[in-house]
Amino acid sequence: MPGKLRPLQLITVIFFTVSGGPYGLEELLLHAGDHAAMLLLLITPLLWDIPAMFMVLELNGMMPITGGYYQWVKHALGKRWALYEGWWTWLYTFADLAIYPVLFVLYASYFFPITGIWKVIVCLSIIWAAAGLNILGIVPVGRMMVALSLIVIAPFLVMFGVFVHQHGGSFMLPSPSLHGVAYPSLGSAIYIVMWNCFGWDNVTTYAEEVEKPERTYLVSVFGAFLLMMLIYVGVIITAQLSGIDYKIFGEKGMPALGEIVGGPYLGGIIAIGGMASALGLYAANLLAVSRLPKVMADDGLMPARLHALHPRFGTPHVSIIVCSVVISLMTFWEFGDLVIIDVTIYGAGLFLEYLSLIKMRIHEPDRRRPFRIPLSTRWLCVLLIFPIAIYGIALSGVMAAKGNALKPALFAIGCLLSAEVVWRISSRFQRN
């Protein structure tokens, strides 16, 4: 019988599914500036992540089954909206996963240049090595996450320690304010924070493969969130007080900050941490998305072959292979475009989960809930205004931008509309 994830393993899997460390947060200071960066870093997760975390804990406690959020939407809203949820999740996760091999190459290039055909070879090697690991099962993935989390976190603990020792003075930060931040820049800055803080529902697709899921998820979700925010805040404070040029920080990434604080040696170990982060993010998110086609195939919404489990390891190996093929074709996109596509599609799926939560509160008030959000249904509806507002500001901000930022936003909207086309095709095949 396949093994199951324990709390420490699940914390690290969630950490890599949602965050993977502060890599990718570098451009926040460039878009938001000194006065708005910390404000957005603290407020956005409060309004965007906390409602999502509570929603995930309540619904997953009620239905801790393979497929997670897809099963919640199907139960509450029906099979049509479940297909929307599954299709949108598949699309945004492909965009998300395509980012990480490219990030690995970026940080590996700190040591030696990787260009041309070698960049393609390295990206494909990461994709298919992670596919092989996922086919072996969830426990090997969880063990690798524990090891990679140490490699990611340790360099930043060293950097914080060195910085505090060298700084020696007051830690006076710029006063928080949005004054002077252009609306398109505000939208881009919020997108960056959202991208570094989303994916809480993804960790529920393998709930049946977690030991004592009701308690383990409760401990692990909040543990991962606390770990993530401590590292994010520490990095932004260090960057603001180090005097680093924000343009250089955005272009060269975290190793540039490490060099300023502790020299080339610290820059090097932070680059190694960036490579480990990319590997962990890719493997953890592939674990989540590969379970989704299987449950959709069970409902006749995708080809039945995706339902196949590996005869030895019991993993959805066909789904893993199909996902890896598609991702291999998407690694040529630009990082910034993929982030906008990623968050825009994800947000739409998240709102279907919120609707499912409200509907089950109304129609199944007496159903057992191991974890219940301590709000009435009316106040729960009020709470959900906040993530909708954050999403609306971010999307309208990039829509107001001229040039490159508008194109991926329009593409993402086209992807959202494509779900109805897929539903009609799927319905026709089911009738036949």
Does residue 14 or residue 3 have the better pLDDT?
Answer: 14
Q: Which pLDDT tens digit goes with each residue over 225-241?
A: 999 999 999 999 999 98
pLDDT band at 38 (very low <50, low <70, confident <90, very high): very high
Q: List the structure tokens of 405.
A: 């930022």
Residue 260 has pLDDT above 70, yes or no: yes
Q: By CB neighbour count within 10 A (0-12 exposed, 13-18 middle, 19+ buried), where does 260 fall?
A: buried
d(CA 75, CA 353): 11
Half-sphere exposure of 413 (CA within 13 A, CB side): 8
What's the distance, Cα to Cα, between the start and end of the chain in Å?
Answer: 37
Per-residue pLDDT at 3 exceeds 80? no
pLDDT for 169: 63
Query: What is the share, in percent, of the chain residues with pLDDT greater than 70?
Result: 95
Residue 73 pLDDT: 94
**25 has a pLDDT exceeding 60:** yes
pLDDT at 431: 61
Residues 6+ apart with CB under 8 A from 418: 87, 91
Task: Identify the pLDDT of residue 428.
Answer: 77
The whole-number average pLDDT for the span 22-35 is 89
Could you tell me the two tokens for 320? 């893993």
pLDDT at 430: 66
Average pLDDT over residues 173-191: 87
Nearest-angstrom CA–CA distance, 393 and 184: 9
Helix (H, G, I), strand (E, B) or coil at 168: coil
C-alpha 215/C-alpha 206 separation (Å) is 15
SS3 6: coil
Q: What is the structure's pLDDT at 1?
A: 42
Other CB atoms closer than 10 Å to residue 211's CB: what's the count? Answer: 13
Q: Average pLDDT of 261-272? A: 92
DSSP class per residue in 27-96 = THHHHHHHHHHHHHHHHHHHHHHHHHHHHHHHHHHH---TTTHHHHHHHHH-HHHHHHHHHHHHHHHHHH
The residue with greater pLDDT, 60 or 5, is: 60
Higher-confidence residue of 379 and 202: namely 379
Say what the pLDDT of residue 273 is.
92
Which of 328, 18, 397, 343 minimizes the C-alpha distance to 186? 397
b/e 95-130 (16+ beta carbons within 10 angstroms → b)? bbbbbbbbbbbbbbbbeeebeeeebbebbeebbeeb
Q: Are 238 and 163 in contact (CB under 8 A)?
A: yes
Contact at 8 Å (CB) between 318 and 82?
no
- What tens digit of pLDDT does each residue of 128-146 get? 888 887 787 767 777 777 7
- Does residue 147 or residue 270 have the better pLDDT? 270
DSSP string over 345-401: HHHHHHHHHHHHHHHHHHH-TTS--SS--SS-HHHHHHHTHHHHHHHHHHHHHHHHS
Mean local confidence (pLDDT), 158-171:
82
Q: What mean pLDDT is predicted for residues 36-40? A: 93
- Condensed to tens digits (0 to 9), the pLDDT of residues 296-318 reads 877 888 777 766 777 777 777 88
Please state, in angstroms and rounded to a whole number, the distance separating the CA atoms of residues 143 and 124.
23
Q: Give the model confidence (pLDDT) of 51-92 as tens digits.
A: 999 998 899 888 887 778 889 999 999 999 999 998 998 888
> In angstroms, rounded to a whole number, what is the distance separating the alpha carbons of residues 12 and 148?
9
Residue type, 158: V
Distances (CA, A) of 246 to 10, 161, 181, 240, 250: 34, 22, 15, 9, 6
Convert the pLDDT of each residue in 331-346 to its tens digit: 776 777 788 888 889 8
Q: Is the pLDDT of residue 163 over 80?
A: yes
For residues 207 and 64, the answer to whether their CB atoms sit within 8 Å is yes
Say whether 156 sits in a helix, a strand or coil: helix
Token pair of 176, please?
A: 């928080």
Please list the alpha-helical segments (H only) found in 243-334: 246-252, 254-290, 292-298, 317-328
Question: What is the tens place of the pLDDT at every residue in 199-228?
Answer: 888 777 777 777 888 788 888 888 989 999
Average of per-residue pLDDT values in the chain? 85
Q: Domain 7-164+180-431 class?
A: mainly alpha
* pLDDT for 235: 93
- The SS3 call for residue 5 is strand
Predicted confidence (pLDDT) at residue 402 exceeds the cutoff of 70: no
Q: Which residue has the tokens 């929603």?
A: 55
